[in-house]
Amino acid sequence: MRNEVRGNASTSRALNRRLILNLLRNRGPISRAEMAQITGLSPAAVTFVVAELMEDALVVERQAVAGTTGRRPVPVDINYEAHLALGFKLHRYNIDCVLTDLATTPIASLEAEVADKSPEGMIETIAATIPKLLAQANRQEKEIMGIGVSIPGEINPSTGMCIQSPRFGWKNLPFAELLAERVHSPVWIDDDVNAFAVAQKLFGVGRDHRDFAALAIGAGIGCSLVIKGEIYHGSHSAAGKLGHTTSVPNGRLCECGRRGCLMAHAAEPYMLDEWQSRSGSSISRDEFARSVEHQEDLALSILSDCGSRIGRHLADMVNLFDPEIIVVGGEAVQFGDALLDPIRKTMEEFAFFTKPELVADWVPSSWARGAAALATQNIFDFERSPSG
């Protein structure tokens, strides 16, 4: 039986487009005949969908395969370079900005300092970077198909609403709508760790897994869940807040206003504070990173304690959701096995049955590329409506 969806014509077309695009994303260039064989779509349906996608410049024909007899099949591939996405990751004092192709491969990037941390100030900073990124890449604004913004906090990606971001003091802010009105482009937003997970799902380690977790450790701690190939946001868009599970009752004050959260006792700010508490002298993040690189005992001890604490909470997540694999990102990945080994060891010690592999996959552009993936995913996931 053929698999093409019948019924509502627009739904059928969207589903078949998604089927072909995701096949090409996972397999690379293949012929129309191979598409029909793999998907179960009729040759006529494949021909129609491919023609439509070519008209939209989403796919392109590559050079015919050599070495075959008769008419050589012409492979079709995603036209990654024809469209652009912009990604912006909001930090407390700066914004990571990137211009990418549809595979979230960076074409241009920059870091923008934030003088005004109000929503209006952030939006104006983003707007000012767009022509700079385009000029850096020698590309045109009309090539931009969308903008993704990742924000630490509780984000509703369907409505484009920042429900709350303790780091910025925002509540019930229609950020996507405000930015879209300012820059006149479709905008998608989500929590920063969810955005990292989207990039992993599309083009990273997670692309080969239907169920996985994306753990991020940096200024905060979060753990996004991908279940059956989809980001699990929860009923109130608050899923994955591993960093806000209680680790030390009545412990250190967290940025969320509660005490004892995991991130208040294991994220990077805690590591630096703990250095000062134990040594009596303050240290910058770069200095701490160098001390880790030089294998200094105090730095390694702090990372061991933090990693063990994170691993204990991660084991609870594993026991609840049973992911196939855990992908680790965030700035703290720079500390390498000094942090990751105690996470692995403690997680495996407390995990009930399964012990998923812990894999680091992180480069400095990963935050912003994750944000860009919020825009590119609309091509592969039903070409969903923007948040704003």
Neighbours of 216 (CB within 10 A): 33
What's the pTM?
0.88
Fold equal for 82-198+367-380 and 206-360: yes
Q: 3-state class of 328 per DSSP?
A: strand
Residue with tokens 């504070």: 273
- The domain spans of the chain are 9-78, 82-198+367-380, 206-360
- Cα separation, 211 vs 138, in Å, equals 39
- Cα separation, 362 vs 382, in Å, equals 28
| Domain covering 82-198+367-380: architecture | 2-Layer Sandwich (3.30)
Tell me, what's the pLDDT at 5? 46
Tell me, what's the pLDDT at 289? 96
Which value, to the nearest 10 degrees, does the dihedral of the CA atoms of residues 243, 372, 29, 82 take? 180
Tell me, what's the pLDDT at 387? 62
Output the CA torsion sign for 38, 40, 41, 44: positive
Let me know: does 243 contact 262? Beta carbons within 8 Å.
yes
Query: Nearest CA to 237 among 154, 153, 162?
Result: 154
In CATH, 9-78 is 1.10.940.10? no
Characterize 97-128 residue by residue with b for buried, 16 or more Cβ atoms within 10 angstroms of its Cβ, and e for exposed. bbbbbbbbebbbbeebebeebebeebbebbee
| Domain covering 206-360: architecture | 2-Layer Sandwich (3.30)
Q: Which residues of the chain have pLDDT under 70?
A: 1-8, 65-71, 382-388
Q: Give strand pairing partners of 261.
A: 246
Tell me, what's the pLDDT at 386? 66
Tell me, what's the pLDDT at 67? 59
Tell me, what's the pLDDT at 380? 81
- Looking only at Cα atoms, what is the longest distance across the chain? 78
- Cα separation, 246 vs 13, in Å, equals 47
> Integer distance in angstroms from the first to the last C-alpha of the chain?
40
Tell me, what's the pLDDT at 63? 85
Query: Nearest CA to 166 among 191, 196, 194?
Result: 191
